[in-house]
Amino acid sequence: MIRKLLLGLGLLASLVAFGLTEIRQRWEAPLPIPEGGLALEVGAGESLGALARRLHEQGALPYPRLLTWYGRWTGQDQRLKRGEYRVTVGTTAETLLQLLESGDVVHYQVTLPEGITLGQALQILSNEEALATTLNGPRDERILALVAPFSSGEGWFFPDSYRYVRGDSDWQLMQRAYKAMARQLQDEWAARDDGLPYETPYEALIMASIIEKETGLAEERGQIAGVFVRRLRRGMRLQTDPTIIYGLGESFDGNLTRKHLTDPANPYNSYRHGGLPPTPIALPGRAAIHAALHPEPGDALFFVARGDGGHVFSASLAEHEQAVRKYQLRRRRDYRSSTEKRLRG
C-alpha cells in the first residue's frame, strides 16, 4: 500500500514537474509577433484579461490565460499604463507585461515650420492621425481666450517640433506652443536693443512675423530687420508684400496686382497704411524675433529679391529702382519673397 502511494506521489511529482516545465517554456517563448512589430493600444481602465483576449484573437498571444493569471499573481494587472505600445519581435509574455507596466508608449512628432500661419499650423495638426482634432480653426474660442486681450491668435504659437502620444489633442499641443512662444518673446524682449520703435512685445512679435516671411537667407534677417526698423523710425510705410497677401487671405491667387497695392480697405496693406499691421502675419521663429529686437545697423531703406532667396539692399530710392529694373526681369516662381518697393515710402 505504501509502495503504491509512493509510486503515485512520484507520478504526481513528475506530472507537476512536467507541467511547470511546460508552463515555463510557454512563458519564456517569444510571442508570434509579425515582422515589423505590432501596435498595441491599451485603453483607459482596460483589464489585462480583455487585453489578453484581444491579443489572442489577433494571433499574437497563444496562451492568454497564462498572461492573465501571472499578472494577477504579481499584481501587474493593476499597474498597466494606458497608451499605444510597439511590441517587437522577440517579446515574451513576461517582457510584454513589463512593457505595459513601464508606460514606455509610442511617441509621435509633428513639426510646425517657421513662417506658416496659424490656420496652416492647425491644418498640419489635423492631418496627424494619432492626434485628436478638437479645435475649430484660428477663431476657436479656446484660442481667443488663451491669447486675450489680443483679438487674434496669429503669431502667438512657437514653430517647432513637438512630441506627443496617441490620444493627445491639438489643443494640448497648441497650449504648449503658446507657452513656448510667450517664453521666447519674454526672454528676447528683456535683452532687446535700446531705442527700438516698439512700445510692447506684441509689436515686436508683429515685426518678427514680417521678417520671417521676407527672409529667404538666414544671414539676411538682421539686415531686413534693420531696413524695417529704420523705415518705422522715419515714418515711412513698410511697403512689404507679405502683409498685403496675408490680408487678402484665401482670395489671393498668387498674383499681386497694383489694385491690391493701392487698396486702402485691406488693413494689412503696408503700402497704404503706416506703422505695423494690426496683427502678426505668421508664426515667427526665435531667429526672427531676435532680429526684430537686434536689427543690424546700416543705412539701407529698400531691398529687392535677387531671385536666389537673397536680396539687394539700397540706401536710396534711385539705387533701389536700378536694382528693381535689373532683378525684376529675372524673377522666378520660387521666390521666398517679392519685396520690390513699387511705391515710394
Query: What does the DSSP assignment read for 166-213?
Result: TT-BHHHHHHHHHHHHHHHHHHHHHTPPTT-S-SSHHHHHHHHHHHHH
Per-residue pLDDT of the chain (345 residues; tens, 9 = 90+): 565 444 444 433 443 444 446 567 778 788 888 888 888 889 888 899 999 999 899 988 888 899 899 889 989 889 998 889 999 999 998 899 999 999 889 999 999 999 999 999 999 999 999 999 999 999 999 999 999 999 999 999 999 999 999 989 999 999 999 999 999 999 999 999 999 999 999 999 999 999 999 998 999 999 999 999 999 999 999 999 999 999 998 888 888 888 998 989 999 999 999 999 999 999 999 999 999 999 999 999 999 888 888 898 999 998 888 888 888 755 544 444 433 343 344
Write phi, then psi, for 9 (nearest 5 degrees): -65, -40
3-state secondary structure of 302: strand
Q: Which pTM was predicted?
A: 0.81
Q: Which residues lie closer than 8 Å to 8 by C-beta, 6 or more apart?
A: none
3-state secondary structure of 120: helix
Domains detected in the chain: 30-102 (3.30.1490.480), 107-186 (no CATH), 192-328 (no CATH)
